[in-house]
């Protein structure tokens, strides 16, 4: 493909935080994402409070989803998101599924199915996670998740449980 006419793709990114003022972390991440060169924000969901999935001895999370239009290839987008996580003080620990200041996940990238060592898209577990599905549905109620089906059908299979919309 000719890069001078880079294709623009709609992508969805999940945001999560449960340390160091999660609401501020999510808001700062939103600003940082929309300032990445080659990215423009399309929509941003409400903030949601959720009880931790995984180890329970950690604070509740704040979660949200942003949709963007981007000309960055998926790996470049991932690297930019990791840069934002690091800039916001994320410390990667050995413990799986521990507390974090900021987690940014590429949930969906156009209609692509991606299986790279560092990046699986659509995100593994997307269909089982209320804290991803509900904010995603809020901003994209007509979405078909590549390889998984219509968002409304996924939502029906996923109880809201402890998820609470903030604002």
Distance, in Å, from the CA atom of 100 to the CA atom of 58, rounded to the nearest integer, reads: 9
Q: Rg (Cα) of the chain, in Å, rounded?
A: 15
Q: Which of 20, 53, 114, 119 binds ligand ROI (CB under 6 A)?
A: 53
Q: Which residue has the tokens 């704040």?
A: 62
**Is 92 a catalytic site residue?**
no
**Is 111 a catalytic site residue?**
no
Which ranges in 15-160 belong to alpha helices (H)? 22-34, 74-87, 130-139, 151-156
State the nearest-atom distance from the C-beta of 93 to ligand ROI, in Å: 11
State the nearest-atom distance from the C-beta of 58 to ligand ROI, in Å: 8
State the nearest-atom distance from the C-beta of 61 to ligand ROI, in Å: 4
Query: What string marks each residue from 102 to 141 as x (binds ligand ROI by CB under 6 A) or -?
Result: -x---------------------------x----------
**Is 100 a catalytic site residue?**
yes
Residue nearest to ligand ROI (CB): 16
> Which H or E run includes 152?
helix 151-156
Cβ closest to ligand ROI, residue 51 vs residue 144: 51
- With 0-12 / 13-18 / 19 or more C-beta atoms within 10 angstroms meaning exposed / middle / buried, residue 144 is middle
Are 136 and 65 in contact by the 8 Å Cβ rule? The answer is yes
Active-site residue list: 90, 100, 103, 105
Residues near ligand ROI (CB under 6 A) = 16, 50, 52-54, 61, 63, 97, 103, 131
């Amino acid at each position: 493909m000719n890069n001078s006419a880079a294709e623009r793709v709609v992508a969805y990114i999940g945001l999560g935080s449960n340390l160091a003022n999660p609401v501020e972390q999510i808001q700062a991440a939103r600003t940082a994402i929309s300032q990445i060169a080659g990215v423009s924000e399309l929509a941003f969901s409400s903030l949601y409070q959720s009880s931790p999935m995984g180890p329970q001895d950690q604070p509740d999370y704040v979660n949200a989803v942003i949709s963007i239009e981007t000309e960055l290839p998926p790996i470049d987008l991932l690297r930019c998101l990791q840069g934002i996580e690091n800039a916001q003080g994320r410390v990667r620990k050995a413990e799986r599924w521990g507390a974090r200041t900021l987690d940014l996940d590429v949930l969906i990238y156009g209609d692509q199915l991606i299986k790279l060592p560092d990046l699986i898209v659509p995100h593994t577990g997307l269909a089982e996670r209320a804290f991803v599905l509900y904010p995603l549905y809020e901003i994209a109620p007509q979405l078909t998740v590549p390889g998984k089906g219509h968002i409304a059908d996924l939502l029906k299979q996923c109880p809201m449980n402890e998820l609470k919309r903030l604002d």
